[in-house]
A and B are shown apart, each in its own frame.
Chain A
Amino acid sequence: MTTPVLEVQGLAYAYPDGHQALFGVDLHVHRGERVALLGPNGAGKTTLVLHLNGILTAGAGTVAVSGLPVEKKHVQEIRRRVGIVFQDPDDQLFMASVRQDVAFGPANLGLKGEALQRRVMHALDLVGMADFADRPPHHLSFGQRRRVAVATVLAMEPEILVLDEPSSNLDPASRRELADILRSLDVTVLMVTHDLPYALELCPRSVVLSEGTVVADGTTYDVLTDDALMRANRLELPFGFDPRTTGMAPPAG
């Protein structure tokens, strides 16, 4: 098989206060995959995400993005390859206009003038927000801000898009619009979420993280229908939702 876009091996990490969050995580994501990262609160999902672009440095084990190890010396290239969309768009949108915000990443990569503008408008087109380029981000609705936050990362042309709780605080229509956008993108996606129906809808494969280790890795349908696994890891489907009746069952099973 080709080099995985994301290769995490034996990753362990303890916070400076001594609290250990990760105990040897192994994870491979290949090009074009959409993978959901599931797990209860405090399982270490965010800690894992912060390792992917070198914000946190592994205590033990390695992380590599398309073969390039996450180390201090290539941190700038790693951050281009791994685009993280954080949970609160207000944390991610800090410039005076949508256009400036989307330009922030590529400008840091050294893009200028015409090329920069093209990149910005292309990213905004992908999320359907091109008409809002000159609006201040804080005047947009929450769903629009979330989409612009995705554009700020797409503008860096990442190899893998990492989304932290992409559906949180969205109304059902915005949630569906975001799903349509994510499906239309030709990019590898790792999605951290508690929204299990969303994971089933968007991600063929799911990885369950619990207490700092990967406890399951398989098709989302199999994970969500494994009642014992779900119960053991504090994962619960919303009331009335049954994956078996959604028509999302894999053809083989």
Chain B
Amino acid sequence: MGAGHGHRLHFHGHSPVHRAPAHLKLLALLAFVLVVVATPREWYAAYAGYLAVLLGVVALSRVPFGYLAKRMVVEVPFVVFALLVPFVATGPRTEVLGLTVSEPGLLAAWGLLAKGTLGVLASLTMAATTEPTAVLAGLQRLRMPELLVQIMGFMIRYLDVVTAEMGRMMVSMRSRGCEPRSPRHWPALARSLGALFIRSYERGERVHLAMVSRGYTGKLPSLEEQA
């Protein structure tokens, strides 16, 4: 039962965007998001500019737009929220497509949608062009505290292991006539998630044991020097 090759968000390639050093990409992403968030939402032209820049980077990275578009579903809850705002906000009313909506609400919804979409698209582009380990090495170079980098590294390493374990538990539940999607079986699902938590915790202990057995004293060897 091998895990899928590469990370789910990563799109293999050799474009200049793929090759750029991870710490520079991290800084660029952070700067881009901060600028977008700080731009007043009435500056419509600026948003068009941001989008153009972002699309330019995506085109340069040769990651298909469809690939990114599929992964943008994570934004859906925000979109739903943004679409609700014009109906529930107060203030002067205006007509759009025969519906009466709040004018400041409409503006707020636009701001939320535009900033959210740009942020998500930029982050996805980063994830699609940078291996998780490169992100970690980048964070290390940016002087992120050692302990946090270690924790994130273990998270990446064991995400697949824990997901596969959960998958096997789900299969065994289904095989015994339980349908995890049906609310009637949610108590069983909750208990199995509890079991998964305990198992992961115990695995954590075993991993620590294996590390200590190889002389671990609290510091991982640098990722960069071998990456």
Contact = CB atoms under 8 A, between A and B. Distances in A.
B210 interface: yes
B147 interface: no
B207 A99 contact: no
A234 B5 CA distance: 43
B206 A103 contact: no
A80 interface: yes
A138 B136 CA distance: 17
B182 interface: no
Contact of B221 (A86, A107, A138): A107
B210 A95 contact: no
A79 B207 contact: no
B8 to A, nearest CB: 13
- Chain B interface mostly helix, strand, loop or mixed? helix
Contact of A79 (B3, B133, B206, B212): B212
A103 B226 contact: yes
B2 A94 contact: no
A55 B212 contact: yes
Given A108-B216, A108-B221, A139-B3, A97 B133 contact: yes
Nearest to A99: B226
A229 interface: no
Contacts of B175: none
Contact of B213 (A53, A97, A109, A139): A53
A170 B216 CA distance: 28
A105 B220 CA distance: 10
Contacts of A103: 221, 226
B214 A86 contact: no
Given A86-B209, A96-B156, A76 B203 contact: no
A105 to B, nearest CB: 4
Interface residues of A, number: 33
Nearest to A76: B215
B209 A138 contact: no
Given A91-B203, A139-B3, A79 B213 contact: yes
Given A80-B215, A141-B2, 15 more contacts: A55-B212, A79-B214, A83-B213, A86-B209, A94-B158, A96-B136, A96-B223, A100-B221, A104-B214, A105-B215, A108-B215, A109-B215, A136-B133, A152-B214, A156-B215
17 contacts: A53-B213, A86-B209, A88-B206, A91-B207, A91-B210, A94-B211, A96-B132, A96-B133, A96-B156, A96-B157, A97-B133, A99-B226, A104-B211, A104-B216, A104-B220, A108-B216, A113-B225
Interface of B: 2-3, 5, 132-133, 136, 153-154, 156-158, 160-161, 203, 206-207, 209-217, 220-221, 223, 225-227
